[in-house]
Structure 1
């Protein structure tokens, strides 16, 4: 995000930056030249409030938040507003992506007070950090019965100074409410098939039969819920689950929420039909949708899903990738203060860029008209199928698709000459962990080059993992900041287990094992069978938080359960798998009843009730490809990366795909056919801390006993098909492999 400059070009005295000028968060940097005397969250601001007995004005947002930008322009840039704030309050700005714990605590307070949520999140606190009033966006002045920001801050300052008993009573009530633990009101129950069926019913009740998705407007992608429905669709009698998942994905891909020219998904749709998006692009949305698209591609055989995943990956690598393989956080919705300006087109612009045939094709396929479909411009969306256009013009879909690709290249080149949306260039561990999971799934399922996954894994292991410590942020100066939260540890733990599954290299599972131990030691509350969002020895908040709901991203609780379940199975630590199941049981009933709030947890519940195979393939050195032509599928992952026998087995695994199964291809065997005990990462940055000792971490698990006996049989590529690591007879041929896969 470009740094905002001072007002040296305006009349009057030159404005000086506030304390946020020293912060690296792009969001905080946006506010560094406000006349408001902003502090970052920390001891200095909190101590000042206590010593001076002043209320705290806490404003929380993020860099690509449209209404955050609006409120900044209208209120925080206003000199009169700033004078009032600076006189009466200690003013603190927080980037919610840096401090999700602060955001979660005070968002809970906002929801208690108003029944609503959103950003910017504006909260007024006592000097002891207890919230007494909260809201989201405030207009600068009173408007149609809605209080303006100036009125709000004047009233609050007056009440605090003249009616302190009223403020104190409100604070006491809020502090009591915030300390209530939802786990005290839950009834644990074993995970059941009935809960999963109930969840499908809940999605069905919310389902939009006409346009897909699970709400009216605004409409969000709900990738985790769709992932659960795809899993459930494999059960007999679950056609409805499949239909809802597939229809919703198809509708999103055809709509304006998907960037038809450049690839990638916008944040959400403001309308029921997926036409008009909120134009920001978040890493986490795309990272969560990618594995769902890849799984839908192999489950349905529809190339639309694989093509969309590849376009999205191309967008992320082109516009959001760090040179060393990690991914930035977000692209702004606004350009030059206008939302969507970068992504929309006028008809006259298309006339100037495309030839006549291309213009006619693009206009018909993407619904472009001289009038536009949104505020005089056109949002590209797939309004007419290519098959219909081909039928009317005596041509083929293939010819039209080739012509359309050339036209899209022109549109993208033209668009790239515009002022680009602001980039939030901080690297967030949990979001990059989701992206690593996505890359691993896309490599294995749709042949995306695996080099991207390995590069990202190397970045994360070398930059954010420091011994037993995980950091949340890598900033633009390549410095790590902020100790990680539950979601950082959990999603990174799960991601490294996926990278082990993809590459067969033990060092990745060793990292997963190390992080699984930290999840249990630092975050697990064994009295409640729950996880704390902040490590138990680190918090500067008035109350701890539990992150149990899967909203835009997986809740920390769900992510921890998934990570421990998966790592426990792959590393041979049944204690972790049992712990994950125990932590699921308090939430099992409400997850079924309130399914849209538990999409990620429902996937773990499905894996537990309907476990897939664990498949281990040991390739023989003689297993070569008969066709040595490279197809660019990468060094590991899809069938084309292996010899004929192994490749055919991977193909068969795809043809019989079960999202709950594991497929590990062990490429690191020593001369005795055992797992090589130590592997090094050649791409690890030289400046990074020493690489963890894979031997030491894995030796304390059942890893070597699980995998050492998986050897070649008869000197040929050998596959082991297991359930709960109780394995069937090893097989050497694709035909035998297929027979065992089919025998469920």
Structure 2
């Protein structure tokens, strides 16, 4: 019997579903495949488990690094598209959909175990139409089927494996499958054969069930206003979100779970805002303490690359020690903002140094000559140039012996006979037999290796070895430089050179906000270069649309996909946010103009006039079974969460009140979630305060080349207050801002000095001319 839709939708484990299908003898299939393979080998064709070089499938014509990784599999892969759909319908075959991304560790494992396996590939080729999707290139496809997998199994993740009817309706799915049956998990070969048997025997029931499942999922994902829903109270939403975060907070190591631990920058953004709105309360103090402590512990931990900068994806343990080693662009962009704001609030240069560390990594390792930013670096790499197998973390970890050989010099000026290696190993927790807990090393690839983690404070290490503080700092800096040079000789991890509009937007915000807060013009210039890159390579002047992705070409060129993929909602909201951030940092009004143009296009393509809020995708793609409105802030904030603040900022810069109304309608559409579990959308929870309190327009009248104007601007950049926008009234009445905001013409400098006004709803306070007066007004 096939499991009922009701059972599936109440999160029945797909593995149990497979068992219910009953046993199927596979010996006939194996014998047939063996004979076919032998014949192919005899004729000089395909054959052998390690002969993938003989194969080239349709993915060879794609640009995506992930799809190209599978272009030489013996699996007859298709990219997502009409050719594959027509084949499935024409031959009445099921579709096997495999979704992943190029720096995904378990995607690599499943490829090696199953997609390079001749026997499994033959089963796939003979009986299924196999489609491979890069989730970063096609987040729309990924979200539809991940919604199904999460609703019908014990979880989600990548690689995602889903079986579809010829009309693209899912009926069973999961994530990683081992090739053979194990004690706790059914093997991929068995899954394929059982599904094939059911398609042959119970096709009508399977099709009926898939339709019922799809209808239930479509209803479940229908986020929108139903009737006359009131806007949620910002006080109630903020208070509940704060308490939910506080309850999950790890008092010792920071973060909001035990393990695995993810950075979750959206939580930091919310807590900073909550602190600013409750500065004088114990709750406000706790919000700030939770954030600063977590950021500090992350920076000390192994999730932070102490040698080559930047942050890894997440920590597998509670202490932020052993990471999953891939590095993602979206993490770097958001964390650069978080650490810059931590410095802005606390004045502690430790946080400024970490922000600079992140931006150094991006500038050096994830930047294209054209100005764009690459997507990621892989977790896996070859331990040596002669290695045949990649290991996770091989590029980043150290043996004690390696460090001792690299840092053999004695430390001068201390009584004990100690080498630089002794000091370095003590400070970073290096052990002779390795410092990785075997429980966090399931494949035994980190045995005897060390993941660097700041084990002791500078003060404690200096006291332990009798060193002056500056002497210790110099020693550690020089030691890191030596290790960096040694690491540069190792084979580098795979670089995903795909450039995504959305993630480039997040990174532009990282450079722009950090540049403004830290006073680094080079960061602002780098943000502007990336924005020009988006304008030149990922935007169509004719249609006004963004493109989703492009790729590193030969030399300094940039390649576009053979079938251009238009931008999704997330591309628009992150780019619009970036352009607002870049305007505030650079004061170049052309970025405001483009942001407003994109906001109009976003409204046209994605707005739901019936249920309110934005769909994640355009309505034009008929291959998508339904349109989703994301309702969770994850590794990246959900697009609707960011859209609320973008709309309020756009309204503040243009006076277009319809955008304020739209912001309220989004909050109404998500009101149930905001009132019950705001912790899953903390960015939208934060935005409720901006809507109810209105954004403050900080207008500075003056010439940015003059010192008095620069003083007021520095005050704005160095003072943390949420829910505000900066407007420079430079007297150019022909410019974008004067054209849209008529009240600016009535504001002027007082006594010939640069002057600031704090305006709400286009009504302005009395003028101030000193930075201290402006700070007092901002903090009032």
Give the TM-score taking structure 2 as reference length.
0.85
Aligned twin of 2:540: 466
* Aligned position for 1:653: 716
Correspondence for 2:316: 270
**CA drift at 1:240:** 1.8
What is residue 576 of structure 1 aligned with on the other side?
Answer: 659
Residue in 1 aligned with 2:334?
A: 288
1:44-102 CA distance string (max 9 Å, x none):
00111111110000000000000000000000000000000000000000000010010
The whole-number CA distance in structure 2 between the counterparts of 1:90 and 1:719 is: 64
Q: Residue 730 of structure 1 is aligned with which of 744, 767, 778?
A: 767
1:369, distance to aligned residue in structure 2 (A): 1.5
1:200 to 215, 238, 242: 242
Moved more, 501-510 or 118-127: 501-510
Match of 2:14 in 1: none
For residues 12 and 224 of structure 1, the distance between their equivalents in structure 2, rounded to whole angstroms, comes to 46
Aligned-residue offset at 1:211: 1.2
Match of 2:302 in 1: 256
Q: Tell me, yes or no, if the aligned pair for 2:52 and 2:116 is still in contact at 8 Å.
A: no
State how far apart, in whole Å, the 1-side matches of 2:68 and 2:267 are: 35
Residue 58 of structure 2 aligns with which residue? 19
Secondary structure of the corresponding residue to residue 144 of structure 1:
coil
- In the superposition, relative to structure 1, how do residues 722 and 394 fare at CA in structure 2: closer, same or farther (>3 Å)? farther
Cα distance change on mapping 1:172 and 1:453 into 2, 3 Å? same
Please say if 1:674 is aligned against 2:748. no
Following TM superposition, by how much is the alpha carbon of 1:559 offset from its aligned partner in structure 2, in angstroms?
2.6
SS at match of 2:298: helix
- Which residue pairs with 1:680 in the alignment? none
Q: 1:138 and 2:138 equivalent? A: no
**Are 1:307 and 2:353 matched, yes or no?**
yes
- Tell me if structure 2 keeps the 8 A contact 1:283–1:431: yes
Question: Structure 2: any 5+ residue segments left out of the alignment?
Answer: 1-44, 383-389, 412-419, 437-446
The correspondence for 1:556, drawn from 639, 644, 649, is 639
Pick from 68, 81, 84: which aligns with 1:42? 81
Larger displacement relative to structure 2 (650-659 or 431-440): 650-659
Alpha-carbon separation, structure 2, partners of 1:45 and 1:499: 42
Q: CA deviation at 1:210?
A: 1.6
- Selected match of 1:324 from 341, 354, 370: 370
> CA 1:314–1:127 in structure 2 vs 1: closer, same or farther (change >3 Å)?
same
Could you list the per-position Cα deviations for residues 278-327 of structure 1 after superposition, in whole angstroms to 9, with x for gaps in the alignment? Answer: 00000001111111111111111222211100001001111001112211
Contact 1:491–1:563 (8 Å) recurs in 2:
no
Identify the match of residue 411 of structure 1 among 471, 475, 483.
483
Kindly report which structure 2 residues correspond to 1:129-278, keeping only aligned pairs within 5 A, or say none.
Answer: 129-180=168-219, 181-183=221-223, 188-234=230-276, 235=278, 236-237=280-281, 238-278=284-324
| 1:396 alignment partner in structure 2 | 468
Residues 1:301 and 1:198: Cα distance change in structure 2 (over 3 Å) = same
Q: What's the offset of the Cα at 1:675? A: 4.1
Shift of 1:205: 1.4
| Alignment partner, residue 9 of structure 2 | none
* 1:546-592 CA-partner distances (Å, limit 9, x unpaired): 22211111212223223222212222222202211221122234235
Alignment of 1:512-523 (within 5 A): 512-523=595-606
Q: Deviations over 1:402-438 (max 9, x none)?
A: 2211111111111111000100001000001011111
Judged with a 3 Å threshold, the aligned counterparts in structure 2 of structure 1 residues 281 and 655 are, in CA distance, closer, same or farther, namely: closer
**Aligned-residue offset at 1:611:** 4.8
Tell me if structure 1 keeps the 8 A contact 2:224–2:612.
no
Distance 1:419 1:714 in 2: 63
Residue 432 (structure 2) pairs with residue 370 (structure 1): yes
Asked whether the 8 Å contact 1:497–1:570 carries over to 2, the reply is no
Deviation at 1:714, TM superposition (A): 3.2
How far the C-alpha of 1:8 sits from its partner, in A, is 11
In 2, Cα distance between equivalents of 1:11 and 1:137 = 21
Q: Summarize the Cα distance change of 1:162–1:740 in structure 2 as closer, same or farther, 3 Å threshold.
A: closer
Task: Provide the residue aligned with 1:297 in structure 2.
Answer: 343
Q: CA shift at 1:537, angstroms?
A: 2.9
Q: CA deviation at 1:253?
A: 0.8
Number of the residue aligned with 2:34: none
Residue in 1 that maps onto 2:421? 359
Distance 1:619 1:9, change over 3 A: farther
Gaps of 5+ in 1: 1-5, 624-642, 678-694
Alignment match, 1:441: 513
What is residue 96 of structure 1 aligned with on the other side?
135
| Alignment deviations for residues 509-558 of structure 1 (CA, whole Å, 9 cap, x no partner) | 11111111112111111211121111233442122222221111121222
Deviation at 1:188, TM superposition (A): 4.9
